[in-house]
Amino acid sequence: MENDAHNGARDVRFKRAFGVLLHPTSLPGGFGIGDLGPAAYRYVDWLARAGASWWQVLPLNPPGPGWSPYAATSTFAGNSLLVSPERLLQEGLLQASDLADAPALSPYTVEYETAAPYKTELLRRAWARFGSCPPAAIEHALGCFQSENASWLPDAALFAALARAHGGAPWHTWSEELALREQGALARWRSRHEHDVRFEEFCLFLFARQWHELRGYARERGVRILGDIPICVADNSADVWAHRELFRLDRAGRATAVAGVPPDYFSATGQLWGNPLYDWQTLAASGFAWWIARLRAALALADVVRLDHFRGFAAYWEVPAGAKDAVKGRWVPGPGRALFDAARAALGDLPFVAEDLGVITDDVIALRDGLELPGMAVLQFAFAPSLRSAFLPHRHPRDLVVYTGTHDNNTTVGWYLAEATEAERDFLHRYLGCDGNEIHWDLIRAAFASVADLAVVPHQDIAGLGSDCRMNTPATVEGNWRFRITEWMLGDPLRDRLAGLAWLYGRRAGVEHDAGADGI
């Protein structure tokens, strides 16, 4: 799938290629959490030398409870924890002395509880230095950012400042006049806290600036960004707080029903997400303006966007507010094609991937195929008897993205050792002609050999890591989103082995596949 940022033209077909899944928080570095600094540029170089055409990331928005990027406090804002202190140092917004007191943090896991306040303090120092002597170029760029994002930035920054002032407490717990956005009260609060609101805008600007520069660097090296957008937004978010009319809420702003999924292979009681549901009738009456703005914002960060829980656009699982699990829900029709027809009219071609996992019915398939969107296949599910028809490589269509696993799966080694049944392992051995001693490379090879146009591999699988390195365990809150790669995982041996398989199966960027060439 190609995206020409200069003339707006898009080719919505993937070429045969491969990508790697790794969220920027998982990059190495000395500040407790991966960021958009030197390690991110080195990672792009590593991907390019491996022949990868795609870097898949998770949502780049500010994380919510449990540090989840899928429960963001704003679907339009970027995650300021990803701002690189080293880049700020280069631009004169920080001094070397500002970085001298960096706490000693683990290189193996993101220690949000320490890293987040430390990086916030660095951002405050940068804001203070900018305020005392703003570099002309950065001041101009900040003004442009504020003008270009005026439709969402004031609400997002005000919400972030309010949330910080309330110690992160949900907006429902604020005073009624602030929670329900009484305009006089908001104006008075902002007047008293103008410095804090402007600080939040500054942080969001820094993220956008650094991400734009990194994405441009990746593009120059032939690496495109595959982004991600969850279908729902978090209840405790600027989006719900500022646009209550677009959600099914009572007069106090509480959800009358919430989102989830029914019992499936991830959870016997389903997944109770708790997100408020959209008022699709109100959204439709506006021509889906808010959703189109959301998709446009996502495409400003990525070349292609994965639509998480795509099936919810056909029909979504509605759970009564206050339920303890997602078992007693019901299917309710979603917006269907009307949303995407409106999006196509406003945005042009639809550079999306449909995450069509879970309970997939004929209406979901019809919507996906009618929009000509590629779906997904996960090889860890291929060897379960109930799913063989969908995920076995010999049954893949070309218009597909095949994964060894996703951010919601165990690592392939962890899955094979702890989750796969004896019957699954036996079938896998016979199907792939392997003994499982290098199960991660067995599944990578199977993904690359598939006729699916795009194959994506989590970096944990390239490194052969176990269950302790998985990114997320669905239906849990604690202990997720913390994985980080270390330097040996970016070594030449792994890169060259990946490049060799990519050449062998015609997926290596910039290399013509010739069976007579010395590709490996």
pLDDT mean over 120-133: 96
Per the residue annotation, which of 200, 308, 424, 442 is the catalytic one? 308
Lowest mean pLDDT among 34-38, 191-195, 496-500, 512-516: 512-516
Q: What is the predicted pLDDT for the residue at 338?
A: 98
Structure tokens at 298: 């996502």
Q: How confident is the model at residue 387 (pLDDT cuts 50, 70, 90)?
A: low
The token pair at 288 is 């889906």
pLDDT of res. 208: 98
Per-residue pLDDT at 470 exceeds 90: yes
* Mean pLDDT score of the chain: 93
Is the pLDDT score of 35 beyond 50? yes
Residue 497 has a CB neighbour count (10 Å cut-off) of 15
Question: Going along 334-389, which residue ranges are E strands?
Answer: 352-354, 375-378
pLDDT of 320 above 50: yes
pLDDT in tens, 18-30: 999 999 999 999 9
Strand arrangement of the beta sheet that strand 454-458 belongs to = 352-354, 304-307, 224-229, 54-56, 17-21, 454-458, 400-403, 375-378
Average pLDDT on 167-177 reads 96
The burial class, CB within 10 Å (0-12 / 13-18 / 19+), for 133 is exposed
On the 0-12 / 13-18 / 19+ scale of CB atoms within 10 A, 482 is buried
Catalytic residue among 200, 235, 408, 461: 408
Task: Answer yes or no: 98 catalytic.
Answer: no
Return the closest-CA partner of residue 347 out of 283, 279, 287. 287
pLDDT over threshold 60, residue 518: no
205 pLDDT higher than 60? yes
Query: Is the full-model pTM beyond 0.85?
Result: yes
Residue 519 has pLDDT above 60, yes or no: no
Q: Residue range 497-520: average pLDDT?
A: 76
Q: Which of 200, 235, 355, 453 is catalytic?
A: 355
**Which of 26-40, 48-62, 123-137, 503-517 is the least confident region?**
503-517
Closest CA relative to residue 338, chosen from 298, 286, 294, 375: 286
Quick check: 384 pLDDT over 90?
no
Mean pLDDT, residues 189-201: 98
- pLDDT surpasses 80 at 512: no
Is residue 468 part of the annotated active site? The answer reads no
Show the 3-state SS of 83-96.
Answer: CCHHHHHHCCCCCH
d(CA 341, CA 349): 10
Q: Residue 181 has which token pair?
A: 């956005």
Evaluate if residue 115 carries a pLDDT over 60: yes
Number of Cβ within 10 Å of residue 467's Cβ equals: 15
Q: Running DSSP on this structure, what letter comes out for residue 16?
A: S
pLDDT band at 13 (very low <50, low <70, confident <90, very high): low
Average pLDDT for 183-200: 97
pLDDT in tens, 134-166: 999 999 999 999 999 999 999 999 999 999 999
Q: State pLDDT tens for residues 491-503.
A: 999 999 999 999 9
408 is catalytic: yes
| Predicted pLDDT at 341 | 98
pLDDT in tens, 212-257: 999 999 999 999 999 999 999 999 999 999 999 999 999 999 999 9
Q: Tens digits of per-residue pLDDT, 60-102?
A: 999 999 999 999 999 999 999 999 999 999 999 999 999 998 8
Rg (CA), the chain: 23
When pLDDT is averaged across residues 407-425 and rounded to a whole number, the result is 97
Residue 373 has pLDDT above 70, yes or no: yes
Q: What is the pLDDT of residue 361?
A: 93
- CA 482 vs. chain centroid, Å, equals 14
Tokens of 242: 């500022």
Q: Tell me: pLDDT of 268 over 90.
A: no
